[in-house]
Amino acid sequence: MKFFCNRLWLHLLAMILVVVFLIFGVRWWLDFYTNHGESVEVPDICDMDISDAEDLLEDLGLSLAINDSIWVDGVRPGHILKQTPGAGVDVKEGRIVYVKVRKVNRDKKALPDLINNSGYRHAKSELENMGFVVGQLEYREGWKDYVLGIKCNGRELHTGQLVTEGSTLILVVGTGTEEEIWDEDNIDPSLFDDGSDDEEQLMTEDEVLENLDDE
């Protein structure tokens, strides 16, 4: 009986030692695998060129990746504008620092359908949101503040034409009068034909003029 009890205690002691070993072994492995307690402070790489920033991060055990690029006037190409994580943040070795940089070349965008299809305010807002600059207006006889044309560097543009982002566009708008100036090119065809074959639903030019006069 005494011998049996001694063996039981030895087995229990061995099991306890195995459990303790496993606990500390796993913790040691996790610390080693994740570099527990070791961190790197992210440097400030904003306003640096990509190549210089990559060298600096590599020396610290970090890496760099570009996740966005935009055009900014007056900033040299490849210049870092923003970084994530920010400067001063503690991270693990091997962490990727994502950056936004200034584009090398401007994008070209298709001119939206604004000519003979939009008022000045709407056209100006849409073009500026696309990254264009709206310059001084030019005036031409036509409905007041109606966009009759768009120019760039003195040349007339057409809908769908590719234009370099950041270009200055000149909107040609109607001067208008007390009674809006009639311009066949600017009249909405739907006023004359709504797509129906019913002749009674069609309006003639004279009827449209009469409606404009009444207004």
Distances, alpha carbon 26 to alpha carbons 31, 63, 153, 159, in Å: 9, 29, 70, 66
Number of DSSP helices (H) and strands (E) in the chain, helices first: 4, 12
Q: Which residues pair with 174 in a beta bridge?
A: 144
Count of domains for the chain: 2
Q: What is the pLDDT of residues 56-86, one digit of tens each?
A: 999 999 999 999 988 787 888 889 999 999 9
Q: Does one domain contain both 120 and 89?
A: no
Domain-embedded: residue 23: no
Q: Does one domain contain both 44 and 79?
A: yes
Distance from the Cα of residue 97 to its chain's centroid: 19
First to last CA, the chain: 117
Give the domain CATH number at 170. 3.30.10.20
Q: Does one domain contain both 116 and 209?
A: yes
Domain-embedded: residue 181: yes
Kindly state the tokens that stand for 83.
């970084």
Q: Does one domain contain both 114 and 205?
A: yes
Sheet holding 96-102, edge to edge: 63-70, 96-102, 80-84
Q: Mean pLDDT, the chain, as a whole number? A: 79
Is pLDDT above 70 for 179? no
Q: How confident is the model at residue 99 (pLDDT cuts 50, 70, 90)?
A: very high
Q: Does one domain contain both 71 and 116?
A: no
Buried/exposed 41-50: b ≥16 CB within 10 Å, e otherwise: ebbebeebeb
What's the domain range around 64? 40-102
What are the start-end ranges of the E strands in the chain?
A: 40-41, 63-70, 80-84, 90-91, 96-102, 108-110, 133-134, 138-144, 147-152, 155-156, 162-164, 168-174
Domain-embedded: residue 197: yes
Q: Does one domain contain both 82 and 135?
A: no
Q: Does one domain contain both 195 and 131?
A: yes
pLDDT at 194: 44
Domain-embedded: residue 5: no
Q: Does one domain contain both 71 and 146?
A: no
pLDDT at 17: 78
Name the pTM for this structure: 0.49
Q: What is the pLDDT of residues 1-57, one digit of tens each?
A: 555 566 666 767 778 877 777 787 777 766 665 555 578 999 999 999 999 999 999
Q: Tokens 């002691």 belong to which residue?
A: 13
CA distance 49 to 101: 9
CA distance 81 to 76: 11
Domain-embedded: residue 201: yes
